[in-house]
């Protein structure tokens, strides 16, 4: 493949990656505007059950989806050696796991205070299923690629499955976020159309973030094959 084609691939890859970061940052900003301006703020130890609940959507996006997407991109985009990329990938996913636990705890705490039955919605089923699979994915990746580390032949055979599982889990997490926003939307008594539009744009940005992260990962392999 000639240099012009490689340069074109690299330019496209860079633009997609920048877009992914941009969509993620914008989604975080809209999430904070929604929760702080329209929904009373967020506080896990608050006496208000709604402020407790607000910790859930924030941490499940910023703490889980956003950090997971950044971890996927960091493994290939970070200008460092492969081992450093692996450690950052593992660390960001571990942060996502820990913050995800806190986010799920906030939802259960809200349900307890409001006497709401747990795990009754499609959103909760998809969300818990995704999170449980994510824990297995992290443990699998850590033991296979970092410690104690499998032999090279086994790592080479299972790496494509690990990558495919990560992409699948990202879309599952986004599906959980979208159904969660729709569920919250139907329960809220909205008196301001601006809030409705904000939630819709937030949902679109979350979806676009997932798509561009996935495209960034796919484009990395195209670029690697071209070099």
Other beta carbons within 10 Å of 151: 8
Helix (H, G, I), strand (E, B) or coil at 116: coil
Helix or strand holding residue 124 (H, E): helix 122-141
Helix (H, G, I), strand (E, B) or coil at 222: helix
pLDDT, tens digit (0-9, with 9 covering 90-100), for 72-115: 998 877 777 888 888 999 999 999 999 999 999 999 999 999 99
Extents of the domains making up the chain: 3-226
Q: What is the pLDDT of residue 190?
A: 64
CATH code for the structural domain at 3-226: 1.20.120.1770
Residue from 223, 225, 198 nearest 7 by CA: 223
Residue from 57, 16, 14, 15 nearest 35 by CA: 57
Average pLDDT over residues 58-70: 96
pLDDT, tens digit (0-9, with 9 covering 90-100), for 125-150: 999 999 999 999 999 999 998 888 88
CA distance 7 to 14: 10
CA distance 104 to 27: 20
């Amino acid at each position: 493949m000639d240099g012009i084609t490689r340069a074109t691939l690299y330019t496209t890859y860079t633009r997609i990656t920048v877009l992914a970061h941009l969509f993620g940052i914008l989604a975080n900003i809209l999430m904070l505007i929604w929760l702080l301006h329209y929904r009373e703020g967020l506080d896990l130890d608050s006496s208000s059950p709604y402020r407790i609940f607000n910790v859930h959507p924030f941490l499940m996006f910023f703490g889980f989806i956003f950090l997971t997407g950044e971890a996927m991109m960091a493994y290939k985009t970070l200008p460092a050696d492969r081992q450093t990329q692996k450690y950052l990938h593992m660390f960001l996913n571990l942060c996502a796991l820990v913050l995800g636990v806190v986010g799920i705890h906030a939802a259960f705490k809200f349900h307890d205070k409001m006497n709401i039955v747990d795990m009754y919605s499609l959103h909760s089923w998809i969300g818990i299923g995704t999170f449980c699979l994510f824990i297995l994915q992290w443990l699998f990746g850590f033991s296979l690629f970092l410690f104690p580390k499998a032999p090279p032949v086994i790592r080479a055979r299972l790496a494509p499955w690990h990558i495919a599982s990560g992409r699948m889990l990202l879309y599952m997490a986004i599906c959980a976020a979208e159904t969660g926003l729709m569920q919250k939307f139907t329960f809220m008594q909205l008196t301001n159309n601006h809030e409705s539009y904000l939630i819709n744009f937030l949902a679109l940005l979350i979806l676009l973030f997932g798509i561009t992260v996935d495209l960034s990962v796919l484009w990395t392999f195209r670029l690697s094959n071209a070099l």
